Amino acid sequence: MKRIKILPLRPSTTNCFVILILLSFFGLAAKAQEKPKLQGLLKDSASHEPLSFVTVSLLKTDSTKAVVASVLSDSTGRFVLHADSGTYLLSFNLFGYHKWVKPIKVSQPNAGDLTVYVLKPMSNQLKQVVITGQKQLISQDKDKLVYNVEQDVAARGESLTEIFRKIPMLSVDGEGNVQLNGQTNYKVLLNGRETAMFVANTKDALRGFPGVVVSKIEVITNPSAKYDAEGVGGLINIITKKGIMGYNGFLSAYYSNLNYQTSTNLSVRSGKFAITGTYFLSGNHNNKAGITSETLPLQPSAYQRRFLEGERITNRFSNDGNLEMSYNIDTLQTIVAYANVGGGNNKSRFTQNITTDFANMASQHDLFTQNVRNSIPTFGLGSDFIKKFKGNANRELSFRFNGQFSKNDGLNTSLMAMANGNLFRQNDSYSKNREYTLQSDYIEPLTQSTRLETGAKFIFRDANANYLSLSKTQESDPFEPDYSNSNNFAYKQQVYSGYGSLSFSLNKLNFRTGLRLEHTTVDGDFLSSHTNVKQNYTSLIPDFSMNTKLSDKYTLVFGYTKRLQRPYINTLNPFVNNNDPLNISFGNPNLSAQTIHSLALQNRLLMGPIFMSLILNASYTGNMIVQYTTFNETNGISTTQYGNLGKNREASATFTFAANLQKLRSGFGGTVRYNKIENTAMPTQHEQGFSGQVYGFFSYSFYKSLFLSGNGGVGKPAYTLINTVNAFPYYQVNIGAELFDKKLTASVNFNRFFNKWFTAKSYTEDANFRTLSTTTTPYRVIYFGFTYNFGKLKENLSKKKGVNNDDLINN
């Protein structure tokens, strides 16, 4: 091959200016060193014409095949890559041509030669030889979408919250709330398992989990019968990096004007044994929120207007630790043991002035103050056993056990200062929750394209609580028990389930059909109100999915699911909360599980670095568990309660576009939703209308290891019977740098910087009354963060036959 010597390229004036600003921002005085570069020219082997838009990548030589650098060839077929000295895999990938992969050594800086590489076109696409190794950033596997985090260089310094913003079909608002395909009824799994960390507080857990330890993220919008029927409209499976000999870890932290967070991880693998430990810590400091609520009777009532105005100051601390150990008994059997510990505490002070206006008398002014403290320790443990079988690597038998335990120790003191006297309250609460899960699953490949999955699962939940209320009317008096405002209960729930799921293919069509049977028993005893809850019901949950590749780029997925939502303890509890005598609330012990039917049609187009999707959804529930408010005109009391009284019909369309073009990664999307919800017992209570979300994101690498990213959008939740809220905008810009051979990533984030405060509005209205509430919270956030990676990796285990626990989800 002819080699042409090219003089070293020098940074432009603009790039130098950007470098100096960012380096001075991070307090770096050292001059960045120029890395070696690899450059070349790509041509067609037959026509010798230049090949443009070829994906050119440098990959690590270990089992991860992680992308070190990646670009697209320009219109003349030329490409330039920068990387540290070392041995890599050089990969060329272009649709219609055979993939080209070979080892290459990158050595001295500024010593790059322009080498001509030729790619061979495929004469018959069906006869293409696939060379395993590099993974695309976004890939599809039947009805599963996979985001390969290891191929996203910027993800090393990002949390899962930031990574989720770049994954098609996921959207994240400015508060860190995640929606999957425009819906909130999903589960987040870690290596195929539910963990207390993501169940207890998904938003905080995602914000504290760094992308540096994640291998890939799977998004499943139509889960099979293998998964619980309760509230699962989708699955997000986070798969961490495994299978590497040696050790590695990270330390990550950020601090802002509103909150702080730190996390650390250490993973060690030696021979057949591996251990991984992760710890997260987060909190905030004196966060203030202004709250107002105005109730206007629309019929003659005990008063004309009631206005509440106050301030809430909160302090929160939470932490979670996870430890996982795995041992490969042999090449076919693996045992995994894991444990978690966490919890935290919350403190808040609430002060509220209450003004009540009457028609023929002076206004009444009351004062309500409240101090709340909660301590919530949690811990759990579990074990998995996975067995493969000789002669058939896809046959698998697994057994799983998991136990989760939590407590809640709280103290609530309040003062209602009214014109006719004062009322002091002190509420002591203590509760315990225990949950045990036993599960067994078996996968039997019947043929190359047919697979049968069966399994059984048992869940036992046990909760009990003791709420003791004390009250007095004079500050100098001792507290006396107020049994009318006290609450004790014991609650047990058992769920027995079994399932069968069959996957098969007919020509280009892939089908999955399944059936899940769940039997639920509930035994609740709410002692204070002398109320027993006895429930015993069986649910049959069918599911169906069909997908096909109409071409190598276009995938079509259709699915139907039926899902359950069981009532929680607080919705069943008939205890009356009457801290504010004119605003009371209680649960309903007669609630039953609601059922949700949904249809989805997904259109996905993947063209190299470009991904687009259009998803149409429709859902219906006729016995929805809803919280609704009624107003008594005679005494002016607003009562909030629960019932299986909601009928909700919803249709939505979600569009997603994402592009990975050389140094720029960007995308945008949106959901348009229309829903109509009504109270079947009260025709005057209904809401309907359009809602949804529009968002966009970008990430741009300036020069070497400097990057700029950002995202923003506006969202409005679906209509509900109470507290329908206004649209919520969000936006942020992040500037960062990878330093010290990419071991340290430092960044500064400017979040919602145009406004210091934001006011969210919500309303409830029917023929009898209208309530408008506002919450004003701090909006502008500026934070500094860093992530430091360390470790020494020696050998990959992927060359050995045996169990691979990285991906526990099969569809």
Nearest-angstrom CA–CA distance, 65 and 54 = 19
8 A C-beta contact, residue 92 and residue 42: yes
In sequence order, what are the beta bridge partners of 770? 296, 765
Give the list of residues 6+ apart from residue 58 with CB closer than 8 angstroms, or none.
38, 67, 68, 69, 70, 81, 83, 88, 89, 90, 91, 104, 106
Q: CA nearest 561: which of 600, 593, 592?
A: 600
pLDDT tens digit string along 518-527?
Answer: 999 999 888 7
* CA dihedral for 121, 127, 133, 134, sign (positive or negative): positive
Superfamily of domain 138-245: TonB-dependent receptor, plug domain (2.170.130.10)
240 to each of 249, 388, 479, how far by Cα in Å?
12, 21, 53
Q: Where are the domains of the chain?
A: 4-127, 138-245, 246-796
- Token representation of residue 178: 């995640």
pLDDT of residue 242: 65
Indicate whether 5 pLDDT > 50. no
DSSP symbol at 636: -
Q: CA nearest 425: which of 341, 366, 369?
A: 369
pLDDT of residue 801: 31
Superfamily of domain 246-796: TonB-dependent receptor, beta-barrel domain (2.40.170.20)
Topology annotation, domain 4-127: Immunoglobulin-like (2.60.40)
pLDDT of residue 797: 34
Nearest-angstrom CA–CA distance, 237 and 141 = 14
Model confidence at 33, pLDDT cuts 50, 70, 90, reads: very low
Scanning the structure block, which residue is given the tokens 């919705």? 571
Please work out, in degrees rounded to the nearest 5, the angle formed at the alpha carbon of residue 506 by the alpha carbons of 503 and 510: 45
Model confidence at 462, pLDDT cuts 50, 70, 90, reads: very high
Q: What is the mean pLDDT of residues 223-251?
A: 76
509 to each of 130, 546, 596, 615, how far by Cα in Å?
22, 7, 27, 19
Residue 644 — φ and ψ, nearest 5°?
Answer: -85, 55
SS3 state at 123: coil
Q: CA nearest 505: which of 442, 561, 549, 554?
A: 549
Q: CA nearest 5: which of 113, 116, 82?
A: 113
Nearest-angstrom CA–CA distance, 199 and 193 = 11
Q: What is the mean pLDDT of residues 495-512?
A: 92
Nearest-angstrom CA–CA distance, 110 and 499 = 61
Indicate whether 264 pLDDT > 90. no
Q: CA nearest 694: which of 724, 711, 670?
A: 670
8 A C-beta contact, residue 238 and residue 217: yes
| 571 Ramachandran zone, left/alpha/beta (phi>0; psi -120 to 50) | alpha
pLDDT tens digit string along 68-101?
Answer: 888 878 778 888 887 888 888 888 888 677 888 8
Here the contacts of 268-271 (C-beta below 8 Å, separation 24 or greater) are 269/242, 269/243, 269/244, 269/245, 269/797, 270/245
- Token representation of residue 742: 């990419």
Q: Return the top range by mean pLDDT from 114-128, 313-327, 408-422, 785-799.
A: 313-327
Model confidence at 230, pLDDT cuts 50, 70, 90, reads: confident
Q: CA nearest 227: which of 601, 545, 620, 510?
A: 545
pLDDT of residue 233: 66
Nearest-angstrom CA–CA distance, 757 and 780 = 7
Total count of residues recorded for the chain? 811
- Token representation of residue 77: 């077929």
pLDDT of residue 123: 54
SS3 state at 443: strand
8 A C-beta contact, residue 780 and residue 755: yes
SS3 state at 206: helix
Nearest-angstrom CA–CA distance, 409 and 104 = 61
Q: What is the mean pLDDT of residues 470-474?
A: 88
Nearest-angstrom CA–CA distance, 292 and 290 = 7
User: 4-8, 202-206, 421-425, 610-614 — which is least confidently predicted?
Assistant: 4-8
pLDDT of residue 157: 62
SS3 state at 17: helix
Higher pLDDT, 4 or 165: 165
Indicate whether 18 pLDDT > 60. no
Here the contacts of 396-400 (C-beta below 8 Å, separation 24 or greater) are 396/441, 396/442, 396/443, 397/440, 397/441, 397/442, 397/443, 398/439, 398/440, 398/441, 398/442, 399/439, 399/440, 400/193, 400/437, 400/438, 400/439, 400/440, 400/441
pLDDT of residue 156: 66
Model confidence at 806, pLDDT cuts 50, 70, 90, reads: very low
Nearest-angstrom CA–CA distance, 392 and 121 = 35
pLDDT of residue 2: 40
Nearest-angstrom CA–CA distance, 79 and 67 = 16
Q: What is the mean pLDDT of residues 32-45?
A: 75
Q: What is the mean pLDDT of residues 313-336?
A: 89
Nearest-angstrom CA–CA distance, 18 and 663 = 15
pLDDT tens digit string along 637-681?
Answer: 899 999 999 999 999 998 988 887 777 878 898 889 999 999 999
Nearest-angstrom CA–CA distance, 764 and 768 = 11
Higher pLDDT, 791 or 215: 215
Higher pLDDT, 747 or 22: 747
pLDDT of residue 128: 33
Q: Return the top range by mean pLDDT from 184-198, 218-232, 243-257, 516-530.
A: 516-530
- Token representation of residue 584: 């009371």
Give, for 625, the enclosing helix (H) or strand (E). Answer: strand 610-631
Alpha helices in 209-313 (DSSP H): none
pLDDT of residue 8: 39
pTM, rounded to two decimals: 0.74
Indicate whether 244 pLDDT > 60. no
In sequence order, what are the beta bridge partners of 257? none
Q: Return the top range by mean pLDDT from 202-206, 351-355, 489-493.
A: 351-355
Residue 168 Cα to chain centre, angstroms: 13
pLDDT, averaged across the chain: 81
Give, for 688, the enclosing helix (H) or strand (E). Answer: strand 686-703
Nearest-angstrom CA–CA distance, 451 and 262 = 43
pLDDT of residue 11: 42
Nearest-angstrom CA–CA distance, 68 and 48 = 29
pLDDT tens digit string along 285-312?
Answer: 889 999 999 999 988 888 999 999 999 9
Nearest-angstrom CA–CA distance, 62 and 239 = 18
Nearest-angstrom CA–CA distance, 128 and 72 = 22
Please give the share of the chain, as a percent, with pLDDT higher than 90.
23
Nearest-angstrom CA–CA distance, 459 and 127 = 49
User: 172-176, 226-230, 685-689 — which is least confidently predicted?
Assistant: 172-176
Nearest-angstrom CA–CA distance, 721 and 763 = 9
Indicate whether 807 pLDDT > 70. no
Give the list of residues 6+ apart from residue 284 with CB closer than 8 angstroms, or none.
258, 259, 260, 314, 315, 316
pLDDT of residue 34: 55
SS3 state at 41: strand
SS3 state at 155: helix
pLDDT of residue 130: 35
Nearest-angstrom CA–CA distance, 747 and 654 = 32
Indicate whether 449 pLDDT > 80. yes
Q: How many CA atoms lie within 13 A of 394 on its CB side?
A: 12
**246-796 has the same fold as 138-245:** no
- What SS3 string covers 136-148? CCEEEECCEEEEC
Q: Break the chain down into helix, strand, coil percent, rounded to 5.
A: 5, 65, 30
Indicate whether 30 pLDDT > 70. no
Indicate whether 243 pLDDT > 60. no
pLDDT tens digit string along 137-184?
Answer: 777 776 678 888 877 766 766 778 878 877 877 877 656 778 786 667
